[in-house]
Chain A
Amino acid sequence: MAAASDNRPADPILVVRDATRRFGNVVALDRVSLTVPRGDFVTLLGPSGSGKTTLLRIVAGLETPSEIAELSISGQDVRGIPANHRNVATVFQHYGLFPHMSVGENIEYGLLVRKRPAEERRRRAKEALEMVRLPDKYDRRVHQLSGGERQRIALARALVTEPDVLLLDEPLGALDERLRRDMQVELLRLQKSLGTTFILVTHSQEEALTMSGRIVLLNHGRIVQDGSPQDLFDRPQSRFVADFMGIENVLEGRITELRSRAAIVSINGAEIVGCPIPGFAPAVGEKVFFAIRAERLRISDSPALSDENLNSVRCEPRLRIYKGNHYDTELETPVGTLLCRQVDVGQIPESGYALWEPRHCVIGPLDSATRQS
Chain B
Amino acid sequence: MSLALSGTALTGAVRREELMLRVGKTVAITFGCLGVVLMYGPVAWLALMSISERPLTGKPGPFTLSWYEKLFADLRWLDPLLTSLGIAAIVSILCMITATAVGRTLPHIGRTGAWLLLLFLLVLFIPGVMLGVDFVMFYRLFLGIRTGLWSLILAHFVWAFPFALLGVIVVAGRFDTRLLESAADLGAGAWRRFRDIEMPLLFPGILSAGFFGFLLSLNELPRSIYLRGGATTLPLFQWAEAASHTTMVPLIYGLSTLITIASLALTVIALRQLFKGDAA
A interface residues, Cβ below 8 angstroms from B: 60-62, 82-85, 88-90, 92, 94, 96-100, 109-110, 113-114, 141, 157-158, 161
Checking A94, A109, A141 against B186 with a beta-carbon cut-off of 8 angstroms, the contacting residue is: A109
Chain A positions within 8 Å of B189 at CB level: 84, 113
Known A99-B201, A100-B200, A113-B192; contact A92-B178, beta-carbon cutoff 8 A: yes
* Most chain B CB inside 10 Å of its own CB: which residue of A109, A114, A157: A109
Checking A94, A109, A141 against B196 with a beta-carbon cut-off of 8 angstroms, the contacting residue is: A109
Pair A62/B185 contact, Cβ less than 8 Å: yes
Tell me the complex Cα distance, A60–B182, Å.
10
Checking A84, A94, A99 against B188 with a beta-carbon cut-off of 8 angstroms, the contacting residue is: A84
Known A113-B188, A161-B187; contact A96-B182, beta-carbon cutoff 8 A: yes
Known A99-B201, A100-B201, A109-B196; contact A94-B178, beta-carbon cutoff 8 A: yes
**Which B182-212 residues sit within 8 Å CB-CB of chain A?**
182-189, 192, 196-197, 200-201
| Interface residue? B181 (CB, 8 A) | yes
Chain A positions within 8 Å of B280 at CB level: 100, 141
**Chain B's nearest CB lies how many Å from the CB of A194?**
18
Known A62-B181, A92-B178, A141-B280; contact A114-B187, beta-carbon cutoff 8 A: yes
**Chain B's nearest CB lies how many Å from the CB of A98?**
6
Checking B179, B186, B197, B200 against A110 with a beta-carbon cut-off of 8 angstroms, the contacting residue is: B186
Tell me the complex Cα distance, A207–B202, Å.
38
Listed by A's residue number, 13 A-B pairs whose Cβ atoms lie within 8 Å are: A61-B184, A85-B187, A88-B185, A89-B185, A96-B178, A96-B179, A98-B179, A99-B201, A100-B201, A110-B186, A113-B196, A161-B186, A161-B187
Chain A positions within 8 Å of B181 at CB level: 62, 83, 92, 96
Pair B184/A109 contact, Cβ less than 8 Å: no
Other CB < 8 Å A-B pairs besides A96-B182, A98-B197, 13 of them?
A84-B185, A85-B187, A88-B185, A89-B185, A90-B182, A97-B182, A98-B196, A100-B200, A100-B201, A100-B280, A109-B186, A109-B188, A113-B196
Chain B positions within 8 Å of A82 at CB level: 184
Interface of B is mostly: helix
Interface size class of B (residues with CB under 8 A): 10 to 19
**Chain A's nearest CB lies how many Å from the CB of B118?**
27
**Chain B's nearest CB lies how many Å from the CB of A26?**
18
Chain B positions within 8 Å of A96 at CB level: 178-179, 181-182, 185
Pair A109/B183 contact, Cβ less than 8 Å: yes
Tell me the complex Cα distance, A88–B182, Å.
11
Mask: chain B, 154-185; 1 = CB below 8 Å from A; 0 = not: 00000000000000000000001011011111
Chain A positions within 8 Å of B179 at CB level: 96, 98
Looking across the interface, which residue of chain B has its beta carbon closest to that of A88? B185
Chain B positions within 8 Å of A110 at CB level: 186-187
* Most chain B CB inside 10 Å of its own CB: which residue of A85, A99, A113: A113
Tell me the complex Cα distance, A198–B132, Å.
64
Chain B positions within 8 Å of A109 at CB level: 183, 186, 188, 196
* Most chain A CB inside 10 Å of its own CB: which residue of B185, B188, B200: B185
Chain B positions within 8 Å of A157 at CB level: 186
Looking across the interface, which residue of chain B has its beta carbon closest to that of A154? B182
Pair B178/A84 contact, Cβ less than 8 Å: no
Chain B positions within 8 Å of A88 at CB level: 185
Pair B186/A113 contact, Cβ less than 8 Å: yes
Chain B positions within 8 Å of A114 at CB level: 187
**Chain A's nearest CB lies how many Å from the CB of B85?**
32
Chain B positions within 8 Å of A161 at CB level: 186-187
**Chain A's nearest CB lies how many Å from the CB of B239?**
44
Tell me the complex Cα distance, A100–B181, Å.
16
Looking across the interface, which residue of chain B has its beta carbon closest to that of A160? B186
**Which B265-280 residues sit within 8 Å CB-CB of chain A?**
280
Pair A89/B201 contact, Cβ less than 8 Å: no
**Chain B's nearest CB lies how many Å from the CB of A209?**
28
Chain B positions within 8 Å of A158 at CB level: 185-186
Pair A90/B185 contact, Cβ less than 8 Å: yes
**Chain A's nearest CB lies how many Å from the CB of B34?**
41
Pair B185/A60 contact, Cβ less than 8 Å: yes
